[in-house]
Chain A
Amino acid sequence: DGGITQSPKYLFRKEGQNVTLSCEQNLNHDAMYWYRQDPGQGLRLIYYSQIVNDFQKGDIAEGYSVSREKKESFPLTVTSAQKNPTAFYLCASSIGAGGNQPQHFGDGTRLSIL
């Protein structure tokens, strides 16, 4: 079955450490997204990518970085500059980046600070 795979499901970060969250999709979608979810705040967009080798900052990009070297993969790095990284991170994809295209979501990665 096609879908979006996020790994790991749980991740722990030490102070001053960078960590990378994996997101892979086999839906042949062009656009991919990273969201951060905090309790009671809905989802906030971190980065998005419409095509390979191109990505744009979302609303809360500070302290995060991404790459899009392959259509199927869109990893997110949470850097030590992100002072409050504890959250649930969701990766999504859509066929294109038009507003009428629904986004499909992975099952998320929960990041905690040790």
Chain B
Amino acid sequence: AQSVTQLDSQVPVFEEAPVELRCNYSSSVSVYLFWYVQYPNQGLQLLLKYLSGSTLVKGINGFEAEFNKSQTSFHLRKPSVHISDTAEYFCGTSYGKLTFGQGTILTVHP
């Protein structure tokens, strides 16, 4: 079985500050790892994914994530956030089916 824990339910941050959204996973097998973003009143959009190879993965909108196998983590980072990054972010693992964490609401303040 696989599970995902997002360690922060809400992250407030000021515009142009760096941000990290934390995600830990557990699985007895190798899985694929994903980050999705959901803007208000919309479906989910894929930000980035880790399948294998380089542990640093770059995605859309300036986001990146680092896969750390020893710590079973896949934290999402952005060096400088914008107001438009305000959204809910979901971490997920996939082994036949995609399992999500509880979500982290990122709020960027001016």
A and B from one complex:
no
Q: What is the interface of chain A, defined by CB distance below 8 A to chain B?
A: none
Q: What is the interface of chain B, defined by CB distance below 8 A to chain A?
A: none
